[in-house]
Structure 1
Amino acid sequence: MFTLDLHYITRPSTLKENAPLLIMCHGYGSDENDLFSFASELPEELFIISLRAPYTLQPFGNAWYAINFDANQNKWSDDEQAKESREKIAGFIDYACDQYPVNKESVTLLGFSQGTILSYAVALTYPEKVKNVIALSGYINPNIIPENFESIDYSKLHFYCSHGSADQVIPVEWARKAPKFLEALNIDFKYSEFPVGHGVAPQNFYEFKNWLLNKIQ
């Protein structure tokens, strides 16, 4: 039984039933208000939910999983925490589809940075729960998806992936592995780069907005 333990905020749809659902997953050190700033610019028929990651950071912000540093300043991810957050998001999708007048066949995950890593993981673990993924400034972590992923049916998934070519937080080389990975699984995707750092350029926003418009029709 899934228990709701993720704080979230919503923007209702103009549709009274069967609204396409968009779930936002913010990056490390942020909160549910960050990506929600996009909401007013996105299609009115979308039912938008922005999640707050479960781990509280000091002095402020939240994380989907810990990022640790050793004495040499190498950093590594807590993959067990990441898997727990993956399960929380997957469970939240079911909760939202039961709780709100949305179309469970039209669920989009929109992630940024660590939220993108989790969005990839949820979609590649539970492709039956997700239709579209907007993956901003993140990468695929193979340690938090099923070992048998190559035998899973991903035929209904669509990915929009983008990255800043000058990203100083997550190297663009990590993001560039996604197209080959998705292509090998016959997943429909679009990959774009923009001349920015770890953020979303205006042209990046308009491109993924138009991409999403076509996917929710």
Structure 2
Amino acid sequence: MHEENILFAGAGIKKNGKVLIMLHGRGSSAEDILSLATYLDVNEFALAAPQATGGSWYPRSFLAPPEQNEPALSDALTMLHALVADFETKGIRKQDMYFLGFSQGACLALEFITRNATRYGGVIAFTGGLIGDKIYRDHYKGDFAQTPVFIGTSDPDFHVPVERVYATANILNEMGAAVTEKVYANMGHTINQDEITMANTLILNAGQ
């Protein structure tokens, strides 16, 4: 079970405010993913970074059959459900909730929003894709209503095949998201400055 362990930073949580949920990668920490805020246009955002128990949201590759990542995967998704519900009780609308993740955290963010598609504020996935040995289309439902999504990745990437990124973008587009995908040749498993710029321009500053 993932214990409830969430670090908060940024602007305070307030009714009709904005919140950015930040999900760290495997072997990383909430503190690490929060450090990205230095480079992001999030002055008006409350920041929430959950910590995965044991430093991993699920034990195997995101390309493993889903049952091989249980019960950790379902626990992580349930944690996000609870976090979103808690923000709603505090007066934050889903259209003012944003998600950001890197690597395993990006996969988890994409899996959560696609299983629960609605109009979110925006989604930033630094190197990630939908979870499973294949795309399980029946797992996904809802309408993103033009939620802006940015997915950036390297080609090649040791952990995330670019083919899964393309397949993920296609599903999100089918479900009404406004997806921008960007593939960087030989970038490595990291985040580059252009991705930060895209995140700020396309997602965090969109509509302001």
Give 1:131's aligned residue: 121
Give the CA deviation at 1:75. Answer: 6.1
**Residue 148 to residue 64, structure 1, CA distance change in 2 (3 Å):** closer
Partner secondary structure for residue 127 of structure 1? coil
Give 1:113's aligned residue: 103
TM-score calculated relative to the size of structure 1: 0.79
Give 1:1-217 correspondences, 5 Å limit. Answer: 5-13=3-11, 17-43=15-41, 44-53=43-52, 55-56=53-54, 62-67=55-60, 77-99=68-90, 102-128=92-118, 130-141=120-131, 147=138, 149=140, 152-195=142-185, 196-215=187-206, 217=208
Give the CA deviation at 1:171. Answer: 2.1
Give the CA deviation at 1:33. Answer: 1.2
**Residue 216 to residue 22, structure 1, CA distance change in 2 (3 Å):** farther
8 Å CA contact 1:15, 1:45 repeated in 2: no
> How many correspondences in the alignment?
201
The amino acid that maps onto 1:139 is G
TM-score calculated relative to the size of structure 2: 0.82
Unmatched segments (≥5 aa) in structure 2: none
1:105-138, CA deviations, whole angstroms, 9 ceiling, x for partnerless residues? 3101101111111111211122247332111111
The amino acid that maps onto 2:198 is E
In the aligned structure 2, how far is the partner of 1:212 from the partner of 1:180?
19
**Residue 108 to residue 125, structure 1, CA distance change in 2 (3 Å):** same
Give the CA deviation at 1:166. Answer: 3.1
The amino acid that maps onto 1:194 is Y
In the aligned structure 1, how far is the partner of 2:13 from the partner of 2:69?
40
Give the CA deviation at 1:38. Answer: 1.3
Higher strand content, 1 or 2: 1
In the aligned structure 2, how far is the partner of 1:66 from the partner of 1:90?
20
In the aligned structure 1, how far is the partner of 2:19 from the partner of 2:198?
19
Unmatched segments (≥5 aa) in structure 1: 57-61, 69-73
In the aligned structure 2, how far is the partner of 1:88 from the partner of 1:25?
12
1:127-172, CA deviations, whole angstroms, 9 ceiling, x for partnerless residues? 247332111111112579772635x323253211110123222222
8 Å CA contact 2:115, 2:139 repeated in 1: no
The amino acid that maps onto 1:33 is E
Which is greater in Rg?
1
Give the CA deviation at 1:78. Answer: 0.7
8 Å CA contact 1:79, 1:144 repeated in 2: no
8 Å CA contact 1:110, 1:133 repeated in 2: yes
In the aligned structure 1, how far is the partner of 2:202 from the partner of 2:76?
27
